[in-house]
Amino acid sequence: MLLNIGSVAFDDIETPYGRAEKVIGGAAVYISWAASYYTQQIQISAIVGDDWPVEEIRKMEARGVDTEGLQIVKDGKSFFWAGKYSENLNERETLITDLNVLDDFDPTLPEGYKYADFVMLGNLTPEIQLNVIRQMEKRPSLIAMDTMNFWMDVAWDSLLLTIKEVDLLVINDEEARQLSGEYSLRKAARTILNLGPKYLVVKKGEHGALLFHEDDVFFAAALPLHEVVDPTGAGDTFAGGMMGYLDMTKDISYDNLKRALIHGSIMASFCVEAFSLDKLQNITAAELEARKNEFKGLMHVEI
Ligand code: AMP
């Protein structure tokens, strides 16, 4: 069972390829969809207004997502985010963040959520993330957490308290540098692993991701695509694919974490091919198999 928490949102997105207005998004939505290609045992704890399409909730349920923990606020407005990408898609500017119902999010886990084996804490305030950990009745096999530089600026102490409680931290290279005060990612990883987590994943966007464990490091490439249309949600999708794979295999060894990273990269490669969840919701078994083979070709060589 994979429990995930995060935002459920409407997004406005502008990229060099065009714009999409009031499309569905949110970390918990990307995580759930990506994980659903590996496990049908997913629970979502999140908040949304009743302006968010009911058919999208039904579609997640049809993929094995238990939505008992998705709080729907009557007459409430859903979280809204607007962002604009640079020409090369490597930089993104946040234009609007309207928290709306997310401002009052104080998750109370349904009884059945308190025994999940795997927990993915999407990017939210560290207090909410810690609150979820504290509600678990049984220590999960693995708790993963995403965060961002904003929380390093405004909630340093509670961020460190939360990081101490998790097994895996998933952040990007800039965030790893800010969190550790080290430029070398090798040194940054040592500092961060000393804060508590057993594993650290450092995402490097189109340049793949690194997995750190003790003194070891592993690299998972991102697939060079012919066309990237919309990078929104790639990080959450990566985390969802990775955690879905771990829930499917129930193996938290370093070797299996390496495989999980590659499955995260596979899911992220689909996510960025279309706006919003347009591709992520429509991956066929044949496409998934073909993409796995592309990754094998990309990464495998005797040296
Ligand atoms: P990513 O591109 O992986 O960072 O994820 C983007 C998604 O996260 C979008 O669908 C947004 O709705 C959502 N998002 C953006 N900013 C925030 C925030 N401050 N808190 C929670 N979710 C957010």
Question: For 200-256, what is each residue's pLDDT tens digit?
Answer: 999 999 999 999 999 999 999 999 999 999 999 999 999 999 999 999 999 999 999
Residues 62-97 have pLDDT tens digits of 999 999 999 999 999 999 999 999 998 988 999 999
Instruction: Decide: 26 in ligand 1 pocket, CB within 6 A.
Output: yes
Percentage above 70 pLDDT, the chain:
100
Q: What's the full length of the chain, in residues? A: 303
Residues 178-215 have pLDDT tens digits of 999 999 999 999 999 999 999 999 999 999 999 999 99
Please, are residues 201 and 175 in contact by the beta-carbon 8 Å criterion? no
Instruction: Decide: 9 in ligand 1 pocket, CB within 6 A.
Output: yes
**300, two tokens:** 């495998």
| List of E strands, the chain | 2-5, 9-15, 18-25, 42-49, 65-66, 70-73, 79-85, 92-98, 118-121, 142-146, 168-172, 199-203, 209-213, 216-220
pLDDT over 90 at 301, yes or no: no
Instruction: Decide: 247 in ligand 1 pocket, CB within 6 A.
Output: no
Helix orientation angle between 285-299 and 254-271, rounded to the nearest 10 degrees: 120
- So what's the pLDDT on residue 90? 85
Residue whose token pair is 């094995």: 64
Q: What is the pTM of this model?
A: 0.97
Residues 147-184 have pLDDT tens digits of 999 999 999 999 999 999 999 999 999 999 999 999 99
Of all protein residues, the one whose alpha carbon is nearest to atom 5 of ligand 1 is 233
Site to probe by mutation for ligand 1, drawn from 77, 149, 232 as the one with most ligand atoms within 8 Å of Cβ, is: 232
Ligand 1: nearest atom to the Cα of 29: 10
pLDDT over 90 at 300, yes or no: no
